[in-house]
A = this chain, B = another copy of it.
Amino acid sequence: MHYQLYYWPTIQGRGEFVRLALEEAQVPYTDVARGKNGVDKLIKKMAQGPTPSYAPPFLVAGEQTLGQVANILQFIGGAHGLAPRAQRGRLWVNQLQLTIADVVAEAHDTHHPISVDLTYEAQSGAAKKRAAAFVNGRIPKFLDYFEGVLALAGKGGYLLGSRLSYADLSLFQLVEGLRYAFPAAMARLDGEHPRLLQLCAQVAARPALARYLNSKRRIPFNEEGIFRHYAALDR
Give A residues with C-beta under 8 Å from B.
Answer: 47, 49-54, 64, 66-68, 70-71, 74-75, 78, 87-88, 91-92, 94-95, 98-99, 102, 105, 109, 113-118, 123, 126, 129-130, 133, 137-138, 142, 145, 148-149, 152
Across the interface, do B98 and A114 meet the contact criterion of CB distance under 8 Å?
no
Query: Taking A54-B102, A54-B142, A152-B52 as contacts, is the C-beta distance between A95 and B68 under 8 angstroms?
Result: yes
The 8 closest A-B pairs by CB, nearest first: A115-B133, A68-B98, A49-B152, A71-B95, A68-B95, A126-B126, A114-B129, A54-B99
Q: Is the interface of A mostly helix, strand, loop or mixed?
A: helix
Tell me whether A114 and B130 are in contact (CB under 8 A). yes
Q: Output the least CB separation between A50 and chain B (Å).
A: 6
Query: A88-B64, A109-B109, A114-B113 are contacts. A95–B133 as well, Cβ < 8 Å?
Result: no
Task: Give every chain B residue within 8 A of A116 (Cβ-Cβ).
Answer: 133, 137-138
* Cross-chain contact B95 with A115 (CB below 8 angstroms): no
Residues A95 and B130 in contact, CB atoms below 8 Å apart: no
Cβ A75 vs Cβ B91 within 8 A: yes
Nearest CB in chain B: distance from A127 CB, A: 10
